[in-house]
Amino acid sequence: MNKLFCPAIGITSMDLLIYHGSEGNTYSRFPMKKEKEGFFISPNPLKPGDYYTFLLDDRYEITDPQCTETDVYGIRSRYAQESEPRKRIFEPSDDLVIYEVHVKDFSIDPEGGFQYPGTFAAFSENLDNIGRSHIKDLGITMVHLLPPTDFVTMTGDPLAYLEEDNYNWGYDPEHFRVLHPGYGTSPENPKKTKCECKKMIDSLHKDGIGVIFDIVFNHTYRTKDSNLYLLSQGNYYRKTKKGEIANGSGVGNELATEHPHIQKLLLDTLEYWVREFQVDGFRFDLMALLDREFLIEAKKRLEKINPNIFLYGEPWSALPDSMPEHLRWSPKEDLGFYIYDDVFRDAVRGNNFGFGGFLGGDFQEGDKILQALLYPSKKHLYYLNCHDDYILWDQLKKFGLGNDELLSRKYKLGMSLLALARGPILMAGGNEWQKGKGGLKNTYQGPASVNALHWSEKWHHYGTYQYIKDLLKFRKEKLLRGKEVEGKVLENKDGFLLYGLYGEKTMYVAINGRNEDIIFQPEKYGIKDVYRVFSEEGESKVPCFSEEKIENNSILIFET
C-alpha cells in the first residue's frame, strides 16, 4: 500500500504514476483515495526498482519526499527495499580531528591516479600515500563529507559529470534520503551507488576513521515548485508576518522544522542514515534555523542507535529569520551539540575581512586563544577555515602578512594553535599542505580544478605536511587533556604566550607570535629537567638550557 500525507486543502485528487522504466513517458496510473487525516492511499503496491511519481490535481507531478532512490536526474522516485541494519565496527577516539572534504574534490585530480575519480568508490581504493591511506597516515579520526546527498546544481549524468564546471558544494538539497547519483560509478543505478557509499564507510571504519554527513535541513533548493511546497501549499515553510516565505537561509526559503510532519521527515532521515549506512555523525548547516525541540529530539533518537553519535553545526543563520521566539535556542545552551567557534578562528587568523588576528600582529587576541588551549570544551568545535570564505593560506596571503617564507611560518603557527586546542578540531582538506584557491573566496560553484585536492602539492609542501602530521601525532599521544588536567596562564604579553598544563605530569607551551626570535629562560618559571622540544623540525628530545631561543612565529613544548 502506498501512502502520502498531503495537508494542502486545495488538493482534491492524487494519482500514483508508475513509469515503465527510468526514461520514456509511458506509465500506469492508479487513483489514490483521500483519507480524513490528509493522507492519500493507493492499494497498488510498488515493486523494488519501480520508478514513480505522484500527480496532484492533474496539474503537479512530484517526487516522493520519503524516497531513498531516484533516477539520475532526480525527476522520478525509485522504489527501494532497504536491507537490514549493519553491525558497527567503528570505535570513536576521545580526541577528534575532523577532515572536511567534498566527495568530488577528494579524487577528481588526474594526478591522484584514482580508478573512480570523483566518487564514493575512490575512498575505498588502496593507493600509496594518496587518498584514504593519506588520511589515515595524517592522523585523522573522522571525515566530514560535504553534502553527499541529492542536490540540484550538479548533474550526475555520466557524460557531463567530469566536466570542469559541473560542480557545486551541495547546499541546495532536493531529496534528503537520496545519495547524489554522480557520486556513484554507475549513476543510473542508485542501488549500486548506495552499496559503494556503504563500502566507503566500511573502508574508513576499518582504518579507525568515522564518517560525518553534512546535512542541509534549513531550506530546499526549490520553493513554490518543490514537492514539499506543493504538498502543503507552503505550510511546510516558515512565513514572515506579511505572509511571505521567510528567507533566513539566504537562498529563498526557510523550512519549518517545528512542523510535525517536517520534523518527522527529517528525524526519520537521520535515523535512516545511521541505521542503514552506519554514519557516525552529522554537521548541520545553518543550525540556528533548526528549532530547539527538533535538535533535542534528534540527539535523543540518534543516541539510542549510536550512543557515540557526534553532532555539530553552525550556530547562525545567513539572514534574519522568522522562527518563533519560543522555539529558538541559544548557543549558550548545552543541547549536546558542538558549535563552530568563530571567536577562536578570528582570534588566530583574523575575521573574514582580514581584521585582527594573532597571526596578523593583533596580540590582544591572546586571551581568546588561551581559552581554547587551557580549558577542555564540551561545546566548541575549533577550526581556522572550512569550505566557505578564504582557505587559511589564501586568508594570510590576501591580507599581506609577509612574503611566502614568513607566511609559511605563520601558517604553521596557526595550525599549531589549532592542534593544541582542548576540544575537537576541524581542518579543511588540503590544510596539511598549504592548499590555496588562487585567492578565491566562496568557490561553491567551482571550478572543480580550484577546489580539488591536487596530490602533487603534498610533495611540493612536504615539510608542511610532515610538520602537521607530527602535530596531530603529538596531540593524540602526548598532549595533556581531560578534566583532571589544570591549565594556567604564565605569560601573555606582546605576542608571547606561555602556559602550563598540570596533570600526572607537567607540560609547558611557549608561543612566539612575533616576527623576530626571542630568548626564553625556562628556569624563571621553575621549568627543570626538560627533555622534549617540539619545533618546526618536529619532535625531539634535547637537554634544557638556561636560555632557549624561540624562533619567530613558532612554538616550543616542554615536558618535565
Give the tens place of pLDDT for each residue, 8-38. Answer: 778 889 999 999 988 889 999 999 998 877 8
Residues 6+ apart with CB under 8 A from 320: 248
CA dist., res. 350 & res. 395, Å (int): 8
* pLDDT band at residue 538 using 50, 70 and 90 as cut-offs: low
154-166 pLDDT tens trace: 999 998 999 999 9
Q: Which residues pair with 62 in a beta bridge?
A: 54
Query: Residue 512: its pLDDT value, please?
Result: 96
pLDDT classification of 560: cutoffs 50, 70, 90: confident
Q: What is the pLDDT of residue 543?
A: 66
Q: What is the rounded radius of gyration, in angstroms, for the C-alpha atoms of the chain?
A: 25
Model confidence at 451, pLDDT cuts 50, 70, 90, reads: very high
The reported pLDDT for the residue numbered 200 is 97
Cβ atoms of 39 and 5 closer than 8 Å: yes
Higher pLDDT, 529 or 20: 20
266-275, 499-508, 532-541: segment of lowest average pLDDT? 532-541
Check whether 1 has a pLDDT greater than 60: no
Here the cell at position 42 is 493507493
> Which pLDDT tens digit goes with each residue over 242-294?
999 999 999 999 999 999 999 999 999 999 999 999 999 999 999 999 999 99
- pLDDT, residue 394, reads 94
Q: Identify whether 447 is preceded by a cis peptide bond (ω within 30 of 0).
A: yes
- Would you call 255 helix, strand, or coil by DSSP? strand
- For residue 533, the model assigns a pLDDT of 63
Cell of 382: 575549533
pLDDT at 86: 73
* pLDDT for res 69: 97
Cβ pair 42, 30 in contact under 8 A = yes
Query: Which residue type, as a one-letter code, is found at position 217?
Result: F
What is the 3-class SS of 23-74, one letter each residue? CCCCEEEEEEEECCCCEEEECCCCCCCCEEEEEECCCEEECCCCCCCECCCC
Which residue did the predictor score with more confidence, 377 or 458?
458
Q: What is the C-alpha separation between 93 and 209, in angstroms, rounded?
A: 9
154-168 residues labelled b (16+ CB within 10 A) or e (exposed) = bbbeeeebeeeebbb
**pLDDT value of residue 81:** 83
Structure letter (DSSP) for residue 88: P
Top pLDDT among 179 and 521 is at 179
* pLDDT value, residue 529: 61
Q: What is the pLDDT of residues 358-403, one digit of tens each?
A: 999 999 999 999 999 999 888 999 999 999 999 999 999 887 777 8
Mean pLDDT of the chain: 92
Q: 47 CB contacts (<8 Å, ≥6 apart)? A: 79
For range 480-489, the mean pLDDT: 90
Within 350-487, residue ranges assigned H as helices are 366-374, 392-398, 404-420, 448-451, 456-460, 462-477
Q: Is the pLDDT score of 464 beyond 90?
A: yes
pLDDT for residue 402: 74
Residues facing residue 47 across a β-bridge: none
* 196-219 pLDDT per residue, tens: 999 999 999 999 999 999 999 999
Tell me if 96 sits within 8 A of 142, measured CB to CB.
yes
pLDDT at 319 over 60: yes
- 4: which DSSP letter? E
